[in-house]
Homo-oligomer: A and B are copies of this chain.
Amino acid sequence: MINETYKEMLGKKSVIRELSEYATKRGQEIGYENVFDYSLGNPSVPVPQKFTDVMIDLLKEKSPMELHGYSPSLGITSVREAVAKSLNERFGMDYKFSDIFMTSGAAGAIAHAVRAVTKPGDEVITFAPFFPEYTPYINGTGAKLVVVPADTKSFQINFEKFEEMINPNVKAVLINTPNNPTGIVYSEETIKKLANILKEKSKEYGFNIYLISDEPYREILFAGVEEVYPSKYYDYSISCYSFSKSLSLPGERIGYVAVNPKDPDSTTIATMCGQISRGTGHNCPPSIIQLAVSKVLDMTADLSIYEKNMNLIYNELVDLGFEVVKPGGTFYIFPKALEEDAVAFSKKALKYDLILVPADSFGCPGYFRMAYCIDTEKVERSLAALRRFVENEYR
């Protein structure tokens, strides 16, 4: 008997996917270079050449049986060691290899971290606007995603609403900084305040609420923005990482869970992820990708293009009168639409071949997201279209 829950999900197409499909179709008509497709968060700069070189070396020089043999289910030990070392050097942490669990991207990391620290029926709080995939990610674990409304002034955390909504059913809080879709980086003040509330509430409820920090955009930080590593501020924390964005490797599905070594259960939790993976069918990421990534842990693709694109778009948006908070990182920007209904706004934009994603599914109606991981030359051409769109439709 077909599972009705999953069958019903088929009917609900994601807005991002629909728009992206439209962009592809429109591209076939007028040339994709003429479609200003801001729909998808697919990196637009190549992986560092060193990754390619390491992959080729592994294929040429390592014995195929060793190279392609089973990885331990928690990840290859030398890879886990390299990840721990890199995090310790960068953030002054004290991870052991045994606190690290290798995953297939951040999606895999969240799937395992949430299962490790919740049970079905528990609540996981996140903050709007949020990556819409969090809903299936969290609900798929059996826990329930609860969304705190946005603070649309700063897109930091709406603490007033958070304190109203937190309750003893909440076993984990899921944050994403630098943030998709806003591009906002949580300040040290925000993280400290969040950590304090979690400490207080943990004491009050008699158990530790976990902070699950989704950090695929950790390395895409713009000039003058302070790097804040959430796990520095709260012991019961789990970093979920993906190399998709920093190394431009989204198709290779590689990331990790790093459990805070100050949590006395850190190694237990990382080891439990290996048990969880038996049921999710994940087991471990591909051996060759683990090995190759471990050699380029402290490298990134050339991420500077994203800041260049951001500045071009941000200045034009401000000039056109949009209400918008300047991103501190990522390759997203999150302006307020020029009419209440952002879906209608985005539809009108299509006439100008501008693909803008309305933010209803991000839990923040009235706003839209632009993913500017596209060529700068195209960004430049798109600005004229944006101006025409605003002038023709809203002046």
Contact = CB atoms under 8 A, between A and B. Distances in A.
A69 B139 contact: no
A279 B65 contact: no
Interface stretch (A25-33, A90-98, A109-117, A346-354): A109-117
B59 A47 contact: no
Interface in A258-290: 265, 268-269, 271-272, 275-276, 278-289
A188 B132 CA distance: 48
B279 A139 contact: yes
Interface stretch (A192-200, A248-256, A381-389): A248-256
Contacts of A181: none
Contacts of A122: 1
A140 to B, nearest CB: 2
A392 interface: no
Contacts of A56: 56, 59-60
B272 A111 contact: no
A272 B1 contact: no
A112 B288 contact: no
A218 to B, nearest CB: 19
Most chain B CB within 10 A, of A2, A45, A271, is at: A2
Contacts of A4: 119
Nearest to A9: B275
A71 interface: yes
Q: Mostly helix, strand, loop or mixed at chain A's interface?
A: helix
A61 B240 CA distance: 32
A45 B69 CA distance: 11
A64 interface: yes
Most chain B CB within 10 A, of A171, A265, A286, is at: A286
A133 B171 CA distance: 29
Most chain B CB within 10 A, of A141, A278, A284, is at: A278
Given A279-B140, A282-B104, A287 B251 contact: yes
Contacts of A250: 68-70
Nearest to A263: B2
B68 A278 contact: no
Most chain B CB within 10 A, of A9, A65, A141, A289, is at: A65
A52 interface: yes
Contacts of A268: 2, 7, 10
Nearest to A52: B59
Given A117-B2, A250-B69, A265-B2, A10 B271 contact: yes
B68 A253 contact: no
Interface string A97-140: 00000011101111110011111001000000000010011011
Interface string A1-44: 11111110110000000000000000000000000000010111
